[in-house]
Chains A and B, each alone.
Chain A
């Protein structure tokens, strides 16, 4: 496959990110009130000198276009401003928290695709069987349950009734000095409930989607050919059918990534997971706008990257697309 395709996708992604920067800039200016006060956070703690230094730094006394130029320049240099609540650069705050968010989101995404596809394939074997009915009901329920409420219900269950998984945070304090692999296992142990909570909604959707997609593919000629030549059922299902049925699932998985990040925001808040969602929530309550805008920027960047990876994996899965650019 040509690298031209990838380069063009990355270029377009960068353009989208520039759009996010401009949007951030406009949002601060459109908000009611003095932008300097907005940036300093409406905690009443901003002194006149602080406001003056903000006006200086953001060039708030300059014309709007010059301000935009200064803002874009700052972002390009990795300067997303200063959090007046944490008294730290926003970029630093996010660097500390983006890892846990990526871990949570990617785990949930893989978990939901893997389990969802497995359920869907099993259901597609018998379109009117028990498994099919289960997938349909489960998908409708999974769609309707608020993700934060699932998390709370799981906390109640696992904190008191069945205490096998930790319900809060990402690490145990008592293992702070343990060997690295013990700490990794500890993080994985903490990850179970948040990742599963987040995965449930999408798991249900992927199960329904892959069932429908498999049913369509299973009716096609090449499946009949594969069966006629005596291929085993497992080979037919997973090698011949699933490869073709996977394309719509990939598309939806890519489109869902933004929603997954939105869901992670809620799940992180419920489980006290030390990621960007928690940071967004804390900074929104404190009206810490530079931090909020930084989180919006990085969360969007994650979606852009996920979209590029989806397009790329789409081409890996479908050889017919490889010749085209």
Chain B
């Protein structure tokens, strides 16, 4: 920063500045690279590696590294594990992203309304938030998925419905803080309506912590999806990493590889997402970086 003049630094937009900080953060960049690799592999992997994840292609429990055709071995039915990893990532990532989006939409809407209007609106919405925080999330999601038959959409919606309270609280806190600032008063003075103030004045300024929280929410949602499909509550017609672990659970003492590799895939995905989240957090809060 020493080779820049103060004026140049000030002229930089917050997003650009954050990106400049992020680029210097090696763990965060590593996270970005790992995640991109995983996303690309699940999107395009099947072009280079043919085979259906549900097909029985070989003897059961072929250990990894023995047959060149099946580098990570086969599971208890003789299904190819690499094919499972490549096709199973898609649903996990899609549900994770969709669930995080649903979480953010519900959480930001309710949190913004509570923080902006205060009074009885705040009171009511915060009581509802507290109520949802009392319900153990995974159990509630299990109930929802079972009642409304499992599909990728039900699962994403169920995860979203159980995970929004934290986002709502965060949004509310940001709105409470920002609505007292001068530029909000100024916007009101020139006659901006409530809706405009909420979504076009306050929300963009509350964006940094919400972006960080959205990233971490993706990680949590992926773990949720994995947990549900591990329990056998996912869509039975769709291969997913959690399902691979759940299906092979009974045989872990005969074969470690069918459960180990999907678990590593989930781990690396969530790990990279959280590295990115931490990196964004540091980038948006330069003051905290010394910690």
Contact = CB atoms under 8 A, between A and B. Distances in A.
B146 to A, nearest CB: 5
B219 A144 contact: yes
A266 B227 contact: yes
B153 interface: no
Given A269-B231, A303-B134, A307-B134, A296 B139 contact: yes
Contacts of B273: 144
B137 interface: yes
Nearest to B130: A16
A157 to B, nearest CB: 10
A152 B245 contact: yes
Contact of A258 (B136, B219, B242): B136
A129 interface: no
Contacts of B131: 16, 19
A265 B136 contact: yes
Contact of A300 (B135, B249, B267): B135
Contacts of B133: 255, 258, 303
A30 interface: yes
Contacts of A263: 138
Contact of B135 (A20, A31, A281): A20
B263 interface: yes
Q: Is the interface of B mostly helix, strand, loop or mixed?
A: helix
Contact of A145 (B148, B253, B267): B267
A303 B227 contact: no
Interface string B219-242: 100010011001111000000001
Interface in B260-274: 260, 263, 266-268, 270-271, 273-274
A141 B139 contact: no
A266 B231 contact: yes
Nearest to B27: A140
Given A143-B274, A299-B136, A284 B142 contact: yes
Interface string A279-301: 01100110100001101100110
B139 A261 contact: yes
Nearest to B216: A143
A261 B256 CA distance: 27
B252 A155 contact: yes
Question: Which size bracket describes the interface of A in this complex?
Answer: 35 or more
Contacts of A153: 260, 263
Nearest to B147: A31
Given A140-B271, A144-B271, A258 B135 contact: yes
B134 A292 contact: no
B245 A20 contact: no
Interface in A131-146: 140-141, 143-146
Contacts of B143: 27, 284, 292-293, 296
B10 interface: no
Contact of B147 (A30, A140, A143, A215): A30
A129 to B, nearest CB: 14
Given A19-B134, A303-B135, 8 more contacts: A16-B130, A23-B135, A141-B267, A145-B270, A261-B139, A265-B139, A266-B227, A292-B146
25 contacts: A19-B131, A27-B143, A27-B144, A140-B275, A146-B230, A147-B227, A148-B227, A148-B230, A148-B245, A152-B252, A153-B260, A215-B291, A258-B135, A258-B137, A265-B139, A284-B231, A285-B232, A292-B143, A296-B135, A296-B139, A299-B139, A300-B135, A300-B136, A303-B133, A304-B134
Interface of B: 130-131, 133-140, 142-144, 146-149, 219, 223, 226-227, 230-233, 242, 245, 249, 252-253, 256, 259-260, 263, 266-268, 270-271, 273-275, 278, 291
Interface of A: 16, 19-20, 23, 27, 30-32, 38, 127, 140-141, 143-149, 152-153, 155-156, 159-160, 212, 215, 255, 258-259, 261-263, 265-266, 269-270, 280-281, 284-285, 287, 292-293, 295-296, 299-300, 303-304, 307
